[in-house]
Amino acid sequence: MKENRQKAILDIITRQDVETQEQLLQLLGESGIRCTQATISRDIKELQLVKELNSSGGYRYVRSVRRGDGEHDLRLQTIFREGVVSAAAAQNLVVLKTMPGLANAAAAALDRMEIEGMVGTLAGDDTALLIMTTSHTAETFCGEIREMLRQ
């Protein structure tokens, strides 16, 4: 599913200029792929997509030519998946419980993902606090974290 979605993203940005995550979400929906904006944000990060200026003066997503950070990002995502124990939403906050000593790594992984709707993170030893813009964003993102932990 993830592999097919990411392949579709690459196909879409190769065929046409895509300026926003919302536009990409809509184009994926038109091709029969349903997902959330947070999922798109993670895919963009994993695929190392960046925005570049197009010929008409707008911006478009393209694959980054820089590959050095990918290994670091992959390590952070692995730490996140293996280190997070639970996630709970409380209004516009998400509280992540991690294995001892891994909250900073989990928060760093999330910060690197540049998730839309996430204002910032704070981390202690085994707990990370994610500050989201709205309660809905927090609930949605918390659900996605739980889903990722089940995989």
Q: What is the mean pLDDT of the chain?
A: 85
pLDDT band of 126, cuts 50, 70, 90: very high
- Determine the length of the chain: 151
Q: Which CATH class is domain 69-150?
A: alpha beta
Instruction: For domain 2-63, give the CATH number.
Output: 1.10.10.10
* Residue 64 vs residue 5, higher pLDDT: 5
Phi, psi of 84 (to 5 degrees): -80, 130
Q: Do residues 8 and 31 touch, judged by C-beta distance below 8 A? A: yes
pTM over 0.95: no
CA distance 55 to 57: 6
Q: Give residue limits of the domains in the chain.
A: 2-63, 69-150
Pull the structure tokens for residue 37. Answer: 């904006």
pLDDT exceeds cutoff 90 at 119: yes
pLDDT band of 71, cuts 50, 70, 90: low
Given this model, what pLDDT does residue 77 score? Answer: 64
pLDDT band of 151, cuts 50, 70, 90: low
